[in-house]
Structure 1
């Protein structure tokens, strides 16, 4: 397959990663500082917020790296291989890890929303958890489907 056919998807993966990087650099420290301002007697909450959000960014970028590797496999006509199955499996685990990390951080964001009287924070957090969960389930379905396709392909190769 020509390398240019996946160029659009590579650009999309990069464009997905840039805003998250900007959020990690500019917004996450502000959210932590805001939490410390809301609860001055519990200023250490700032560090919990930072750890939770930065820790969820790590599997996000690892999943983007796996998406790049999957696009490389597609370019090299190895889309129906065990390497692709392993890549989808890693993406599934990354999405599940993001879900767990964000769910663990929801009590912190509940405290922030309660003190600031901003229920939208909870809604945004739930939306992010739901999106990560959908990606995990979608990757699991694609992984299982790809495994079945590889199995059928190997049976057909043995028949001919």
Structure 2
């Protein structure tokens, strides 16, 4: 079977955002590993690890998971899912963030808060809190004139 050679059918076009963000995250992890966290650059790299971890999760989690009430999510095929699996599917993004966030909290609680990687874990916990908050808040609240709220402005 021959693949379409159009611009939108290339592997890079379909996966470039996630792979680039993942590559940048790896770069921040390597640089943070090499730098002293007590320096400005070391501190920056540690914050960048947390921020880009959140970005990578947002790219991949919102691509593959669903949150009921989100204008960006696709409706599930009702023939494929029945209760209680439908409820899990309807909230898979929030559930994923809560489970992985719990893991980050556990890791942070077990690490030295002033240690090199303890600071990063604390920043990732903060990042996860922001992401969960954004997911839950955007289900029920809108921002006037945003693309997602265009149907709600009427």
Structure whose CA Rg is larger: 1
Higher helix content, 1 or 2: 1
Point out which structure has higher relative CO (alpha carbons under 8 A, 6+ apart).
1
**TM bucket normalised to smaller:** 0.3 to 0.5
Q: TM-score, length-normalised on structure 1?
A: 0.40
Q: TM-score, length-normalised on structure 2?
A: 0.41
